[in-house]
Chain A
Amino acid sequence: MKLAEALRIVQTPQPPNAEKFSVYLACGIFPLHLSTFLAAHLRTCLPDRTIEIHTGLYGDLTGNLAELQKSSPQAGAVIVEWSDLDPRLGLRRLGGWGPSVLPDIQTGVHRETELLLHLIEDAAQSTPLAVCLPTIPLPPIFNQPSQQFGLEHLQLETTLNDFAVRAAQITGVKILNRQRLDAVSLPSERLDVQSELSTGFPYRTAHASRVAELLAGLIQPRQPKKGLITDLDDTLWRGLLDELGARGVSWELDQRSHIHALYQQLLQALSESGILLGVASKNEPGLVAEALARQDLLLKANRIFPVEVNWGLKSQSVGRILAAWNIGADAVVFVDDSPMELAEVKSIYPAMECLRFPTNLEQEAYNLLRELRDLFGRQAILEEDQIRTASVRSGSQFHQQTQSEAAQPLEDFLGQVKAELTVGLVPSAKEPRAFELVNKTNQFNLNGRRLDDAEFEAALNRAGAVSLLVSYQDKYGPLGRIAVLLGQLESSVLKLDTWVMSCRAFSRQIEHRCLQYLFESLDVSEIELEFRHTPRNRPICEFLANFADTESTTPIRIQRDIFMSRKPRLSHKINEVSYA
C-alpha cells in the first residue's frame, strides 16, 4: 500500500455511530507513517469500525508499554528495534562501536529484554498484543566481515530469540514472523537513513506498510478456512486413474511427481489440525476406492469425508460435500488442476476460494502449498479440531438414521442414541474454544455479535453474569464443546445477549435442552433474548419463532410456561461439570 492510498483510507469518513477499535502502538521510534499505515490496514480489515491509534513518546519503549497497559486499548502493537534494546545499536545516539563496548551492549540488551518481557506479560493480561522483533539490520558494529556471523552478533541474536520464545508463551501475545517479513520486505531495503536522522523514523514507506500490514493481520486475523475439497487426477496424484489404473498414478521422486506427495502430506497435516477434507472427482468410483486404499498414500483415506466420485458437474459434488459438512462456501477452498472445473464451481459458489493445482509447475505448486497453510492458519489445535472429521462422519450417520427411521419420533431416537449434554460455566475469556465459537459461528448465532478478549471478560464478570459452555456426545461419538450462552440474571428474568452453537450440532434438539436447563436451573419465569437478524442466522431465527415473535422489536421474550408447553419431549441426559 502506498502512503497516499493509506492516507485516503484513513481520511474516508466513517458513520458517526461506528464502533471504535482502539490500538496502542508502542514503539521507541517516531511512528510517523507507521501509525497511518496501521490505521489504514486495520480499517481495511474492519471497515465498519473507527480505528484509533494511540502512540507514546519517542525513544521510550518501556514507558510506552507501561502506558499501553494503563490505557487498556482493545489491542496493542509492540515494535522492538535494536535501538530500543541499546541506543548504541541505533543511528541517532553515539556511544561507540568499538570492541570494548560490545560486552556492555550485550549486557544492556539482555537487561532490556528482561524488562520488556515483564512489561509485555503485564500488558497482555488485559490486552492482546502483536509483537514485532527488530526489523532494521544491526549497524556495522562488529569487526568481522559482513558475510561472517561473529560470536558477539550471534550472542545478540540468541538473546533476542530467547526473548521471543518466552514472549510467545505468554497468553495473548503473538510474535510477527520475521521470515514472513523477510519475504515481503527485503532487509536491505528497509532502513531510510535520511528519515531516521532527520525525523527519528527509520523505515522506508514500503517497509512501514509491510510491517503495519502484518501487524494488522496479527491483531485482526482473517477467519481461517474450515474445509478443503480436492480433485484427484493430476492434483492429489500425478496421472489419470482412467488411463493408468490405481497402481499407475504416482507421487514419487523418481516419477517426477513428488510435489503431489508433498500436497498429500500437507492435507494429512491439515486434517490432523481439524480441517475437513473432501474429494470431488470425475472418475470411476471403483478405481478411486482402489487408489485411496493404497498403503503408500500419505493422506490416509479415513481422513477424507465425503468422497464424491461421479461424472456429473463438479459444483453438484461440491454442493453435496457442503451439505454434509454443513458449512458455508466462504469457509471452503476448492483445489483442482482444471481451470474449467474451477470456473464452473466458482460460478455456482462465488464465495468459495478456488485454487488451481499447477501440475508440472513444481515451484508454483509449492507456492500453492504455502498459500494453503496460510488460508487454514490457526492459533492452536483444540480437542474439537482433532475429532472434527470423525464427528462430521458420525453426524452424517446420525442424519441417515433419523431419515431412514422417519416413522420414529426424533425424541425417541435421541433417547436411543444416548444423547448427553455436558454443561458448565465458561471459566474465562481465555477459554479458547468458547472464544472461537463466539467469534466464528454464523448460522446459530443470536445476533452476530463478536467479542474481543476484553468484551468477553467483561461479559463474564458483570453483575448477575450467567454463562454456559455446552458439550455434546451420543453413541456415535463426541462433538466436543459446541455451544456458548452468555447473559445476565435480573430477578426472575434471564437476559441472554450471546448464544452460539456449532452447525455440527444441529437437529439434535440441543438448543431446546439448553433453554430448558436454564429455565430450570436458574428458576426464571422468562428468558429475554437480544435477537437480531443477520444475513446468515436463519437457523436460530426459525428455532426462536417456535416460542416468540422474532419479527417484533428486540429483545424478544420467551415465557417459561409457553416454552414448556411447546418444546418437544427431551431425553438428553445432562452432566454438570467445571471446565476450569
Chain B
Amino acid sequence: MPNLEERLKECFSTTFPNLSSDEILRCSTASVANWDSLATVTLVSLIEEEFAITIAPEEYAYIVSFDLVNQCLKSKIVNV
C-alpha cells in the first residue's frame, strides 16, 4: 500500500486535477486559484474516505496547504 503522503497526494490530485505532482507538494489556498470552500469540502470528503477518519469542523482550519494537511493527518493517524 502506498505511504500516507502518496495517498494524500492522490486526494489532492483528484480535487485539483490540473496540478502536477510537484505543485501538489507546494500547494496552498494562496497558490491555487480554484481552492475555494467547495474544493475544501471535496478534499475533506476524499481524505475521510481514503483514511477512514472524520475531520471535525474545527480542523478545517488546517485544510489550507498540502504541508499542513499532511502534518495534521500524521498526528491523527497512529502507526503511520
A residues near B, CB below 8 A? 2-4, 7-8, 11, 32-33, 194, 198-199, 201, 205
User: Is A3 in contact with B57, judged by CB distance below 8 angstroms?
Assistant: no
What 0/1 pattern do residues 34 to 64 of B give for CB contact below 8 A with A?
0000100110011001100010110000000
With A8-B14, A11-B17, A194-B57 as contacts: A3 and B41 at CB distance below 8 Å:
no
A464 to chain B, nearest CB (A): 47
- For B56, the chain A residues whose CB sits under 8 A away are 194
- For A32, the chain B residues whose CB sits under 8 A away are 38, 41-42
- For A199, the chain B residues whose CB sits under 8 A away are 41
In the complex formed, the residue of A with least CB distance to B17 is: A11
- 9 A-B interface contacts by CB (under 8 A): A3-B42, A3-B49, A4-B11, A4-B50, A7-B15, A11-B14, A11-B17, A32-B38, A205-B49
Say yes or no: is B10 at the interface (Cβ < 8 Å to chain A).
yes
User: Is A3 in contact with B17, judged by CB distance below 8 angstroms?
Assistant: no
In the complex formed, the residue of B with least CB distance to A12 is: B17
- Knowing that A4-B46, A7-B42 touch, tell me 10 more A-B residue pairs with CB under 8 angstroms: A3-B45, A3-B49, A4-B49, A7-B15, A32-B42, A33-B45, A194-B54, A198-B57, A201-B41, A205-B45
7 shortest interchain CB distances as A-B pairs = A7-B14, A11-B17, A4-B14, A3-B45, A198-B57, A3-B49, A4-B46
Give Cα A3–Cα B49 distance, bound, in whole angstroms: 8
What 0/1 pattern do residues 4 to 43 of B give for CB contact below 8 A with A?
0000001100110100000000000000000000100110
- For B57, the chain A residues whose CB sits under 8 A away are 194, 198
In the complex formed, the residue of A with least CB distance to B15 is: A7
B residues near A, CB below 8 A? 10-11, 14-15, 17, 38, 41-42, 45-46, 49-50, 54, 56-57
- For A194, the chain B residues whose CB sits under 8 A away are 54, 56-57
In the complex formed, the residue of B with least CB distance to A208 is: B45
Give Cα A239–Cα B50 distance, bound, in whole angstroms: 50
- For A198, the chain B residues whose CB sits under 8 A away are 57
Give Cα A201–Cα B57 distance, bound, in whole angstroms: 14
In the complex formed, the residue of B with least CB distance to A201 is: B41
With A4-B49, A4-B50 as contacts: A33 and B17 at CB distance below 8 Å:
no
Q: Among B54, B56, B57, find the residue whose CB has the most chain A CB atoms closer than 10 A.
A: B57
Q: Which of these, B15, B41, B49, contacts A2 with CB under 8 Å?
A: B49
Q: Which of these, B10, B46, B54, contacts A3 with CB under 8 Å?
A: B46
Give Cα A2–Cα B10 distance, bound, in whole angstroms: 14
In the complex formed, the residue of A with least CB distance to B55 is: A194
Give Cα A8–Cα B42 distance, bound, in whole angstroms: 13
A427 to chain B, nearest CB (A): 46
B54 to chain A, nearest CB (A): 8
In the complex formed, the residue of B with least CB distance to A198 is: B57
With A11-B17, A198-B57 as contacts: A4 and B10 at CB distance below 8 Å:
yes
Give Cα A11–Cα B15 distance, bound, in whole angstroms: 10
B24 to chain A, nearest CB (A): 15
- For A11, the chain B residues whose CB sits under 8 A away are 14, 17
A319 to chain B, nearest CB (A): 47
- For A33, the chain B residues whose CB sits under 8 A away are 42, 45
Q: Among A2, A7, A8, A11, find the residue whose CB has the most chain B CB atoms closer than 10 A.
A: A7
In the complex formed, the residue of A with least CB distance to B38 is: A32
Q: Among B42, B50, B54, B56, find the residue whose CB has the most chain A CB atoms closer than 10 A.
A: B42
- For A201, the chain B residues whose CB sits under 8 A away are 41
- For A4, the chain B residues whose CB sits under 8 A away are 10-11, 14, 46, 49-50
- For B11, the chain A residues whose CB sits under 8 A away are 4
In the complex formed, the residue of B with least CB distance to A36 is: B42
In the complex formed, the residue of A with least CB distance to B41 is: A199
Give Cα A199–Cα B50 distance, bound, in whole angstroms: 20
- For A3, the chain B residues whose CB sits under 8 A away are 42, 45-46, 49
B11 to chain A, nearest CB (A): 7
- For A7, the chain B residues whose CB sits under 8 A away are 14-15, 42, 46
Give Cα A2–Cα B14 distance, bound, in whole angstroms: 12
